[in-house]
Amino acid sequence: MTQRDIARLAGVSQATVSLVLNNRADADVRIAPETRDRVLRVIAETGYAADPVARRLAAGFNRIIGVFTYEPAFPSGTRDFFHPFLVGIEEYAERAGCDLLLFTSAPVVDGRRRIFHQDNRLRLADGCILLGREIDAAELLRLNRDGYPYVAVGRRDDAGGPVPYVGADYASAVGQLVESAVARGHRRLAYLGMGSAAESSEDRRRGFAESARAAESAVQLSTAGRDADAVLDDLLADRTTAAFVEDYATAVALELATRRRGLSVPGDLSLLTLGDPTVAVPTEIAFTGFHIPREEMGRQAVEVLAGVIDGSSSGLQQRLLPCEPVEGETLGTPDRAVERR
């Protein structure tokens, strides 16, 4: 149950429910005793319990949480990837009785949005959630220096001070996939990265490197600017039997290229994906890999931000959430692949 549900059942506005829950009256709004009783009766009947975060925020803040995205969140190419984060953010913001303010007027400089500009409105919000594959370190440094409350979605390195964040534990998730492949007999592994310096990419590479020590060969290749056939040539030349693919679209293209050669996945080459699609990619293949807990990252980012805003957090909050394994159908045994080569 949310305050919105209580308001609907009682036939009042959500603002009225908030005033009743916090046992206070607005200077411009007088709540009739019968209205207050009706709200309290619905609360009792439904067993609703007010979120303590909402009570703390109601005590001295605007209850406005900003959301800033370094990449556009709504074009069709990225909509599917960012949508779950925004769903989680909205869900917890509603629980906390907060409004969301999406900062969309930030100018694009050198191909990227920038928080700080002549007309930035950051101070309209009590704090801000930062979304983006790569977040500008100089802007994090300025946020730390200014003491502005914020939380990054995704692990971030220190920027002139520690960064509060809620991220995904990519290193552990990739490590578990590598261990599964090794347990099935794979000894020639390849990591196919996008050449990104983002922390999320670094964590994936680290998880691969640390867990692939039991393999006979573990190479790291970049797929940036290369077509699937060229990448597949390298994999076959190296006698790779299991490839760990950072970019989902690249995995789809590799599967198609493999079939064009008269080979199969996973019979001749196992393909494992290291996250969810960042763009819509049509495929009927159920890839072995993992899902990123995007909604939960959004929810917990607001929770952490609320603690930063009202000072209730006990120390720096840096959370890494486990990823959800996907069994899929693209991890096999290397026996056939070895025979065919």
For residue 244, what pLDDT is reported?
98
Q: Give the chain's radius of gyration (CA, Å).
A: 24
Q: Do domains 3-50 and 170-291+326-340 have the same CATH topology?
A: no
For residue 152, what pLDDT is reported?
96
More confident call, 56 vs 170? 170
pLDDT in tens, 284-339: 999 999 999 999 999 999 999 998 888 777 788 999 999 999 999 999 998 765 54
Q: What is the CATH code for 170-291+326-340?
A: 3.40.50.2300
For residue 29, what pLDDT is reported?
63
Contact 265, 333 (CB under 8 A): no
CB-neighbour burial class of residue 47 (10 A; exposed 0-12, middle 13-18, buried 19+): exposed
Cβ neighbours, 10 Å, residue 237: 8
Q: Is residue 79 scored above 80 in pLDDT?
A: no
For residue 75, what pLDDT is reported?
54
For residue 115, what pLDDT is reported?
85
Q: What percent of the chain has pLDDT over 90?
A: 56
Contact 142, 116 (CB under 8 A): yes
Q: Which residue has the tokens 């709200």?
A: 39
On the CB side of 4, CA atoms within 13 Å amount to 10
Question: Distance between CA 121 and CA 135 in Å, rounded?
Answer: 18
Q: What is the pTM of this model?
A: 0.79
Domain borders along the chain are 3-50, 60-168+294-322, 170-291+326-340
Tokens standing for residue 55: 């009570």
Question: How much is the average pLDDT of 14-36?
Answer: 75
Contact 40, 58 (CB under 8 A): no
For residue 21, what pLDDT is reported?
78
Q: Is residue 280 scored above 90 in pLDDT?
A: no
More confident call, 274 vs 282? 274
Question: Distance between CA 273 and CA 177 in Å, rounded?
Answer: 9
Question: How much is the average pLDDT of 58-81?
Answer: 72
For residue 118, what pLDDT is reported?
72
For residue 58, what pLDDT is reported?
54
Q: What percent of the chain has pLDDT over 70?
A: 89
Question: How much is the average pLDDT of 237-259?
Answer: 96
Q: Is residue 28 scored above 60 in pLDDT?
A: no
Tokens standing for residue 175: 């490590």
Q: What is the CATH code for 3-50?
A: 1.10.260.40
Q: What is the CATH code for 60-168+294-322?
A: 3.40.50.2300
Q: Which residue has the tokens 């030349």?
A: 237
pLDDT in tens, 251-269: 999 999 999 999 999 999 9
pLDDT band for position 203 (50/70/90)?
A: very high
pLDDT band for position 81 (50/70/90)?
A: confident
pLDDT band for position 178 (50/70/90)?
A: very high
For residue 339, what pLDDT is reported?
47
Q: Is residue 145 scored above 60 in pLDDT?
A: yes
Q: Is residue 69 scored above 60 in pLDDT?
A: yes
